[in-house]
Structure 1
Amino acid sequence: MRNILIIDDEINICTLLSKFLGKHGFKVDTTMSGATALKMMKEKTFDLVLCDYRLKDTDGAQLLQDILLINPRTIVIIITGYTDVRVAVDMVKNGAYDYLSKPLYPDEILNLVHKAFAHMDAERERESSMPMRTVSAAPAGNGSVQSAGDNGADGEMMEKSHKYVYGESNGAKELFRQIKLVAPTDYSVIIFGETGTGKESVAHLIHHHSKRHNQPFVALDCGSLSKELAASELFGHEKGAFTGAINTKIGAFEQAHGGTLFLDEVANLSYDIQVALLRVIQEKVIRRVGSLKEIPIDVRIIVASNEKLSESVSKGRFREDLFHRFNEFTIYIPPLRERVEDLPLFVDAFMRQVEKELQKNCGKITNEVWECFSRYNWPGNIRELKNVIRRACLLTPEHDDITLSTLPLEMKESFAQQPYEEDHQVNMSGELISITNENDLKTVALQAEYNKIINVLKEVKYNKTKAAQLLNIDRKTLYNKLRLLNINY
């Protein structure tokens, strides 16, 4: 069943559209607030959004950008008054599917909704038949370029990327702000972060919220490419250019023409390839290996590295002039250990994925496992967490709780080596107190969070749904915080 969200500050319109579309087989949610709509979209996937241009709490154009950043595949139809038609047309140019002018007519609405879904189905069918739409080029024995699904990457990355960026931590909020800022531009971007932090997911989000979102996104892992293979993968080669070049090959730059080229672990490229890259960026043409013919290219370049490229420059391993070409904008992705408060969001997202994949219902995570998660250093970051959840769900019988026994040996050993000590507890007055260092920054933050949650719960007479709304978090996150802070109501 298709999910539709209606955003309009007139309750009559929300009610009428909800009943009308519901009768025609759609599952409909409504809200009168743009801010609430964005919260709903972070918790649930909507196929189509009917959005009034003039809302009391936000501007329609800004709301459109925010909606598409949460999920670039959402169909957005703007509802507008006669005087706003020109603005609505501009919004269509910026990513809306179409617009409806008031007064609204049921048949017109239904026809447009059906047309939008038909367009979406046709687009997805077209993409499924074109594996080069999203490509992850990887070294292969025959020099071929493989699709993301073929080389073991997450086949749902384009759909799921936003879930790995959003969070409650300051680091997550700053990451989201930077993506939102740079995506609409054509700037080159350097993404810096540890292994497993989601650098390709961020690159996907930037691309899908850019002016090039309807063009190819091509990803090339430069981590293990030799000089010879790198030239072929980047620029392509002609038949007979070297031993083993049985056929002509199109390189990543040509595949990405008009779209975005993502170069992961770019610091590992050889000096000669760096020189060739600099020439391509300056002249906007490439030459295939074994050919003198110049081929014009138009790509936006996003690069990523596990270490700061400026440090690679200082060490003499990366060209300074190439670094400055890339360094129009830099995004830092914090490691998971610096955003522990986002763990419940990631765990929930991964568990839902695994439940769907395994077609089984996993139970809840025990307090001991949560404690292990919060204390663990996560050297593999989000990728490691995902694998841990996949393993735990597979080993746990259906409906049973996930226990410490299902975790990898290295996690259990790390947890066992840390004597279990509560670093905070609740005193007789109901206050959260530290039993380690009361001036510790973590303790101060926990105290503030504890007090805020307690005050809100009292204000809403311990209604957890209302409390979660006032705290601007979802109910699952609230329950996790209640458990971690030992709040029992």
Structure 2
Amino acid sequence: MPKILLIDDDPTFCLMLSTFLKRQHYEVKTAYTANEGLKLLKAEPFELVLTDFRLPDKNGLELLEQIRVLTTEVPVILMTHYADIRTAVKAIKMGAFEYLAKPINPDETLLTIKKALSRNTRSGEVSESTIPMRSSFSFVKGASPQSLQLEEYIALIAPTSMSVIIEGESGTGKEYVARKIHQSSKRHNKPFVAIDCGALSKELAGSELFGHVKGSFTGAMADKEGQFEAANGGTLFLDEIGNLSYEIQVKLLRAIQERKVKKIGSNTDLDVDVRIIAATNEDLVQAVSRGEFREDLYHRLNEFKINIAPLRERHADILIFAEFFLEVANHELERHVHDFDAAVTVALERYSWPGNLRELKNVVKRAVLLAKGAEITLEDLPPEIAYHIPEPTTIVAQPDATRVAPVTDLRSATERSEKELILDMLERVKYNKSKAARLLNIDRKTLYNKMRQYNIDA
């Protein structure tokens, strides 16, 4: 039975999590301070350490450093609130296996623990000190309210077989969201097949989606498997679905409704079991009103819709993604650039990022290539980003007596953001507190405590 050391100064949380882990057949020892945890680690062997980032006597970086003095073989998973994620990413560079954002999701926690233990067992030692997002697929968690809501929606929709439409500007990461839904679903061990519908010609779209038989048209030299068939049992991601021709839309609707496809030139149907996730950077409702997209197909696909906010509206996410892209670029380019200097972080947060995450990734990769030292400086950024001047915003003057001072305290800013998220969720579910707690991924007691803390009148 794997043995886990849990370090957290919240006794109620420790009891809840240790009870859950024991039900999953893990042995759990609990410590409420970093020093107490280190004593237990010296006294007996553990296969995994699961620790909160903020402890009464040490923070996560200090604790991780001392754990690594004792052992390099035991994987460490950090649990952190969203305001500390950037620091948690630095901890991963120091050798932590992964971080989990609080309030934690039990299924995600269990999956991360299994990955850490299996990797440790497989290699005989802790994996190399790299961010685990370097795998073939990685999904970075943001800290903005929009990203928190996105996480909620993914957790809700993934276990179902509902079709999903993902809307968002180009470069916002629609395919990453689709892959996250697939990997969190019951189909995760089946194929994920992605098609860029914008790259399909009208003539070849039918063959690409449904396949063809030899001799069915000029150039059909052999039978071809369509992408529906290739994705059988799994997920088919149709990117930029609004670009499909009307004729292909008709065939697509039939395939989704009847779960059958017919290859071009064939007289027989093939049974297929495929979940459809579609993505678009345009408003499909407007396309339907213009007669460019079939209304019946739209409603068949739109069992659940996710809108991904542009990066300029997710200010809290910019540096988190920049840190991640820095690690990816170092790995790809075999460089050792460790950080951004202070002026660069200001410039990255000030810029509006019209190309969203794709633009940010390219800018960071270019900067890593150009960097002359261990830090990225303004000289390594394109001038339009390094010296960008934001558009002036109109400020409505207030009387001195009612003017609100800007919030400069980090804890106050975090609490305000948390309060706004709770208020928004309560309004959306018409103050159904059980439903709000479920969507916020906390229990009812925690929600009531938060409502009292922030004087939220229900």
For Structure 1 versus Structure 2, the TM-score category normalised by the shorter chain is 0.5 to 0.7
Contact 1:5 1:28 in 2 (8 A): no
Instruction: Select the residue among 75, 78, 103 that pairs with 2:114.
Output: 75
Instruction: Select the residue among 297, 302, 314 that pairs with 1:327.
Output: 302
The 3-state SS of whatever aligns with 1:159 is coil
CA distance in structure 2 between the aligned counterparts of 1:160 and 1:274, rounded to whole angstroms: 31
Contact 1:218 1:252 in 2 (8 A): yes
Are residues 1:29 and 2:76 paired?
Answer: yes
In structure 2, relative to structure 1, the CA distance for the partners of 1:21 and 1:210 (3 Å cut) is closer
State the percentage of identical aligned residues.
Answer: 41
Are residues 1:187 and 2:162 paired?
Answer: yes
CA distance in structure 2 between the aligned counterparts of 1:289 and 1:311, rounded to whole angstroms: 31
CA distance in structure 1 between the aligned counterparts of 2:278 and 2:214, rounded to whole angstroms: 29
Q: Per-residue deviation at 1:18?
A: 6.6
Are residues 1:447 and 2:406 paired?
Answer: yes
Task: Give deviations 1:246-269, integer Å, cap 9, x for gaps.
Answer: 221111101110000000000000
Aligned to 1:357: 332
Instruction: Select the residue among 150, 154, 160 that pairs with 2:138.
Output: 160
Aligned to 2:45: 19
What does 1:60-459 correspond to in 2, within 5 Å?
A: 63-67=105-109, 75=114, 117-118=121-122, 158-161=136-139, 163=140, 166-399=141-374, 401-411=375-385, 415=387, 447-448=406-407, 450-453=408-411
CA distance in structure 2 between the aligned counterparts of 1:312 and 1:292, rounded to whole angstroms: 33
In structure 2, relative to structure 1, the CA distance for the partners of 1:374 and 1:41 (3 Å cut) is closer
The 3-state SS of whatever aligns with 1:304 is strand
In structure 2, relative to structure 1, the CA distance for the partners of 1:24 and 1:343 (3 Å cut) is closer
Task: Give deviations 1:345-403, integer Å, cap 9, x for gaps.
Answer: 0111111111222232225423433333223221110010000000011011132x323
Give the number of aligned pairs.
348
Gaps of 5+ in 1: 50-56, 78-112, 121-154, 424-434, 457-489
CA distance in structure 2 between the aligned counterparts of 1:346 and 1:454, rounded to whole angstroms: 23
Are residues 1:10 and 2:29 paired?
Answer: yes
Task: Give deviations 1:200-237, integer Å, cap 9, x for gaps.
Answer: 00000000000111111000000121222111110111
Contact 1:158 1:204 in 2 (8 A): no
Q: Per-residue deviation at 1:159?
A: 3.3
CA distance in structure 1 between the aligned counterparts of 2:342 and 2:331, rounded to whole angstroms: 24
Q: Per-residue deviation at 1:67?
A: 2.7
CA distance in structure 2 between the aligned counterparts of 1:303 and 1:446, rounded to whole angstroms: 44
Amino acid at match of 2:76: D
Amino acid at match of 1:403: T
CA distance in structure 2 between the aligned counterparts of 1:29 and 1:378, rounded to whole angstroms: 34
The 3-state SS of whatever aligns with 1:227 is coil
CA distance in structure 1 between the aligned counterparts of 2:365 and 2:404, rounded to whole angstroms: 31
In structure 2, relative to structure 1, the CA distance for the partners of 1:262 and 1:446 (3 Å cut) is farther
Q: Per-residue deviation at 1:302?
A: 0.3
Task: Give deviations 1:324-350, integer Å, cap 9, x for gaps.
Answer: 000000001000000122111011111
Task: Give deviations 1:288-312, integer Å, cap 9, x for gaps.
Answer: 1111111000011000000121111
In structure 2, relative to structure 1, the CA distance for the partners of 1:455 and 1:359 (3 Å cut) is same
The 3-state SS of whatever aligns with 2:279 is strand
CA distance in structure 1 between the aligned counterparts of 2:44 and 2:106, rounded to whole angstroms: 21
Aligned to 1:484: none
CA distance in structure 2 between the aligned counterparts of 1:377 and 1:198, rounded to whole angstroms: 16
Q: Per-residue deviation at 1:315?
A: 1.5
Contact 2:213 2:223 in 1 (8 A): yes
In structure 2, relative to structure 1, the CA distance for the partners of 1:324 and 1:352 (3 Å cut) is same
In structure 2, relative to structure 1, the CA distance for the partners of 1:157 and 1:376 (3 Å cut) is farther
Task: Give deviations 1:24-51, integer Å, cap 9, x for gaps.
Answer: 97223378x8989x979876497699xx
Amino acid at match of 1:66: E
Gaps of 5+ in 2: 7-17, 19-27, 49-69, 125-132, 415-458
CA distance in structure 1 between the aligned counterparts of 2:80 and 2:359, rounded to whole angstroms: 35
In structure 2, relative to structure 1, the CA distance for the partners of 1:386 and 1:75 (3 Å cut) is same
Contact 2:5 2:46 in 1 (8 A): no
Contact 2:75 2:96 in 1 (8 A): no
Task: Give deviations 1:430-479, integer Å, cap 9, x for gaps.
Answer: xxxxx96666xxxx99923x1344899xxxxxxxxxxxxxxxxxxxxxxx
Q: Per-residue deviation at 1:316?
A: 1.1
Contact 1:6 1:29 in 2 (8 A): no
CA distance in structure 2 between the aligned counterparts of 1:335 and 1:446, rounded to whole angstroms: 28
In structure 2, relative to structure 1, the CA distance for the partners of 1:116 and 1:326 (3 Å cut) is farther
CA distance in structure 2 between the aligned counterparts of 1:167 and 1:48, rounded to whole angstroms: 15
Q: CA RMSD in A?
A: 4.0
CA distance in structure 1 between the aligned counterparts of 2:218 and 2:340, rounded to whole angstroms: 55
CA distance in structure 1 between the aligned counterparts of 2:347 and 2:315, rounded to whole angstroms: 12
The 3-state SS of whatever aligns with 1:281 is helix
In structure 2, relative to structure 1, the CA distance for the partners of 1:247 and 1:446 (3 Å cut) is farther
